[in-house]
Structure 1
Amino acid sequence: MHTSEEIYHRVLWDPRFDPERFVMGIAERGAGPARVGLPDFVPGGEIPWHRVIFFEADGELVWDRATGVDRLGETVAADEAVPPEEVLAVPATSRTAVAWIPPRRLWPPIQHIRRVHDRQIHRWPPHVNVLFGFVPESDFERAAPLVASAARGVRPFRAQLEGVHWFGHREDATVWLDPCAGGDRPWLRLREALEARFPLCGGQARGFTPHLSLGRSHDPHTLATTSEALLGSMTARVAELVLLSRRADEPMGVRATVTLGSGEVRWTAGP
């Protein structure tokens, strides 16, 4: 049976659920349970998780501590639901990620730019994060089958890396190569499938822009223009995702590789 905390976070962050449909039952001393709309509940506030005794969706009981009812997945269509056993509600860390690493043949011009402009070049390989942060490496053994389940729903696809853009910050900007020039649909499908299984990961933020960071600059227009001229248009097959983690002061390392379409998992050096 899932915990009340896991049910809460799955409803809140799984795009298949509408939190407005859900009511939580809160145990009260000497009285019947109080009913609180899920969007109005404040985690970490005055109400501890053990006082959450049930969840209802549209008036129907979907989770109940006393009787063991645990059927949240039945509130969405069977072909869209992620089974409860495929959800890992573990808080994220910035020391891990699920990402795509482009083939080595594409690295030379990318690394040429990063060596000058990216302070993270010795920490990260060239990559496109699909989910960052991710669960701690200690949970990779549990997480890998869920990443595999998400990967099985997306067949390998061809990515076109073309166009250089930037995200503005207060004093500078992050300049990045666009991996979605040929379309972003498969990237978004991967992201949605992973968010549904790891509801506390990915920064808990709506919106996702696939990008390959090239560096930071106070003059992003100039860097973007020169980078675009150097990189041109590149294509690559996206057939695998990797589970990355950083141990102590080491760079991010590949701990497992997951194949799109089949969901095959290959461990690099054990979980």
Structure 2
Amino acid sequence: MHTSDEIYHRVLWDPRFDPERFVIGIAERGAPPKRVLLGDFVPGGEIPWHRVVFFEADGQVVWDRASGVDRLDETLAGQTGPVPVPAPGDILAVPPTNRSAVAWLPPEELWPPIQHIRRTHDRQIRRWPPHVNVLFGFVPEGEFPRALPLISAALAETPPFTARLSGVHWFGHREDATVWLDPAAAGHDPWARVRESLELRFPLCGSQSHGFTPHLSLGRTPDPQDLARTAEALLSPMTARVDELVILSRRGDEPMQVRARVALGDGDIRHPHEPTASPTAAPEPPPPPPR
């Protein structure tokens, strides 16, 4: 049976569900459960998850703590969505940390002009390689053994695709802006699909409240137009194959390190720096027979 927080986040972030159809039942001492629209519920607020006792969709109970009813997926009957729903149990609802991420690293032959700009403008250059975060923050490193099979299943649903890195934009902040290179110039859909598939399995991870814009950060500056002009002059359009994502984490003050690589299309998992078996030495030839 799914937990109440897993049901809540499935409904909120799976594009096939309409949150406005759902009502949550909240246990009240000495009174019938209070009915609250799902969109009005505040996770992490005054109401703990154990007081969520049921979910209804269009007036029908789809999850009930007391009776064990757990049929949320039945509300999808007759619908088709862009990403398959994970099977029960294939969700890891663990609070995220900013010390880990699931990301794409462009091939190292594309790094020199990117790093040239970052050396001057990006204070995080020693902490992060050039990257496009697909899910950040992510689960703590101690959860990676449980997370990797779920990442593998998610990425197996998305075939490799070609990224075109072209165009420089920025996110404005209060006093400065983050300038970034667009890796989705050839199309946003494959990025969105792989992000969706991961979000379904890790419903507490990612900056979902701000949407998802694939971007490769070049630096922060109070004058983004000037940096954007410089970057546009130095960075010719580049293409690269997105055929794997990496799982990154950092320990103590060290930079982000690759802990595993997971292939798109088949979900194959590889760990960097795994010792490989030494080739077996050829056997010594037998001594010649005595004369």
TM tier, shorter chain? over 0.9
In structure 2, how many angstroms separate the alpha carbons of the residues matched to 1:237 and 1:203? 25
2:89 aligns to what?
85
In structure 2, how many angstroms separate the alpha carbons of the residues matched to 1:223 and 1:26? 51
Determine if contact 1:124/1:252 at 8 Å carries over to the other structure. Answer: yes
| Aligned mate of 1:210, from 209, 214, 229 | 214
In structure 1, how many angstroms separate the alpha carbons of the residues matched to 2:182 and 2:44? 38
Residue 201 (structure 1) shift: 1.1
Pair 1:103-2:88 in alignment = no
1:68 aligns to what?
68
Greater mean deviation of Cα atoms: 79-88 or 128-137:
79-88
2:202 aligns to what?
198
Greater mean deviation of Cα atoms: 121-130 or 70-79:
70-79
Residues 245-268 of structure 1 show CA distances to partners (whole Å, capped at 9, x for unaligned) of 111101001111110000111233
In structure 2, how many angstroms separate the alpha carbons of the residues matched to 1:161 and 1:50? 46
Determine if contact 2:167/2:232 at 8 Å carries over to the other structure. Answer: yes
Q: What's the RMSD between the two structures over aligned residues?
A: 1.9
In structure 2, how many angstroms separate the alpha carbons of the residues matched to 1:174 and 1:26? 41
In structure 2, how many angstroms separate the alpha carbons of the residues matched to 1:116 and 1:66? 59
Residues 181-202 of structure 1 show CA distances to partners (whole Å, capped at 9, x for unaligned) of 2111111111111122211111
Pair 1:173-2:215 in alignment = no
Determine if contact 2:85/2:200 at 8 Å carries over to the other structure. Answer: no
| Aligned mate of 1:226, from 219, 223, 230 | 230
Greater mean deviation of Cα atoms: 35-44 or 163-172:
35-44
Residue 154 (structure 1) shift: 1.2
Pair 1:253-2:261 in alignment = no
Letter in 1 for 2:263: T
Q: Which has the larger radius of gyration?
A: 2
| TM-score normalised by length of structure 1 | 0.92
Greater mean deviation of Cα atoms: 232-241 or 147-156:
147-156
Letter in 2 for 1:116: T
Pair 1:242-2:246 in alignment = yes
| TM-score normalised by length of structure 2 | 0.86
In structure 2, how many angstroms separate the alpha carbons of the residues matched to 1:128 and 1:16? 26
Do the aligned partners of residues 46 and 122 (structure 1) sit closer, same or farther apart at CA in structure 2, a change above 3 Å counting? closer
Task: For structure 1, list consecutive stretches of 5 or more residues without a partner in the other structure.
Answer: none
Letter in 1 for 2:67: T
